[in-house]
Amino acid sequence: MRYAVLVTGPAGAGKSSFSAAFVTHLRTTKRTSHLVNLDPAAAPDSFQYDPVIDIKDLINLDDVMGELGYGPNGGLVYCFEYLLENMDWLEEELGEYDEDYLIIDCPGQIELYTHHPFLPTLVQNLQRLGIRVCAVYLIESQFIEDRYKFFSGVLSAMSAMVNLEIPWINIMSKMDLVTSNPDDPLGSGRNGIRARRDIARYLDPDPLLIAQRNQDTNTSNSRFHALNQAIVQLIEDHPLVSFLPLDLTSTDSLETVISHIDYTMQYGEDEEPKEVKSQEFDSSATLTSNGVHHQPPDLDEGDFQDME
C-alpha cells in the first residue's frame, strides 16, 4: 500500500518546514518516505530534501509568466491545468514508488483548495492508482493574534475540507512562537502570550470569540455584527474544524501530529488489521514493532503543559 499526504495551507504557514521534518522523522523510524513538489514557483534552495518528483520538471511558473504574460495566480492555475492534462507524466513518475510514504508539498494559494477542482481531480487520480490519501491544512499561530483573521482561516480550512472530501487534519503551526511567560527573556513568544485555556479556545474554535464585540473600537455597524453572528451559526452548525498544535522544536509535538496522520489513513491496516482502542497516549509507543498505531489522545491531554 502506498500513502500520500497533501501538505496544504496559505503561504507562510510552514508547509515546507513541516514537510522536511515529516520526511526526517519517517526516515529516522526506518520508514521509506519521499518528498514530492507540486509548487511550480518553489525555489530550488527551499527544500531540505531534493524532491523525487517535481512539477517543475513538467512545467515552470516563470516560463508560463514569461511566455504567456500571465500573473502569478493566473500562471499557477495554468500550471495545474497543464498537470491535469498530462497526468500520464505523474503516473509514470509515481510508478517507481511502491509501499512508500509520499509527502506532497503544495502551493500556498488557498483558492486551489477552496474554489478550483484541480486538487480534487488530482486526489481522484491518486486514489485510482491505489494510493491512500489524506491532507493536512496548516495555518500559523500568528492567526490567533487577530480573531477575525483566525476565523477567516477556520472558514478557509472548512471550505477546503468540503472541496477535497478526503481524510483531513488541521494544524496550528509555529506554536513555539507562542509562550505563557510574560517575562520571556528570549522573546520566543512573538506571536503572543497565551494561557493554556486561551489556546484551547483556538485549537477547538470557540465561535463566541468572534461573537464578542471588540471593546477596543467603537464599531457599531449592525450589518457587521450580523455577519459575525452568521459565521458563528455556521461554525456551530458544522463543527468540522479543530487544530492540532505543532511545535517543530519539540519531537513529541511532531510525533503526535504524525500519529494522527497515520491513524487517519489507517497506516499498516492492510498488514494486520485490528481495532484501535482508546488509551492514554505514550509518545514513545506511537509506532509499534508491527507498524500499527494507537489512537491519538484528546487535544487537552498533555498538550502544552507549561502553559498554565
Report the alpha-carbon distance of residue 16 to residue 48 in Å, rounded: 8
Q: Are residues 12 and 134 in the same domain?
A: yes
**pTM exceeds 0.85, yes or no:** no
Q: Which string of DSSP letters, residue by residue, matches 203-262?
A: HTT-THHHHS--TTS----HHHHHHHHHHHHHHHH-----EEE--TT-HHHHHHHHHHHH
Number of domains in the chain: 2
Q: Which domain holds residue 110?
A: 3-192+241-265
Non-local CB neighbours of 52 within 8 Å, separated by 6+ positions: 34, 35, 36, 93, 97
Same domain, 74 and 210: no
State whether 144 and 105 are in the same domain. Answer: yes
Same domain? For 70 and 216 the reply is: no
Residue located via cell numbers 488541521: 170
- Does residue 291 sit within a domain? no
Residue 142's CATH number: 3.40.50.300
- Identify whether residues 74 and 214 lie together within a single domain: no
45 and 78 part of one domain: yes
Measured distance CA(19)–CA(51) in Å, rounded: 11
Q: Can you give the pLDDT of all 308 residues of the chain as single tens digits?
A: 889 999 999 998 999 999 999 999 999 999 999 999 999 998 888 888 999 999 999 999 999 999 999 999 899 999 999 999 999 999 999 987 877 899 999 998 888 888 888 999 999 999 999 999 999 999 999 888 888 888 889 999 999 999 999 999 999 999 988 865 555 544 445 555 555 557 888 898 888 777 665 544 445 566 677 777 788 888 888 788 999 999 999 999 999 999 999 999 888 776 544 344 444 434 444 444 444 444 444 555 455 555 54
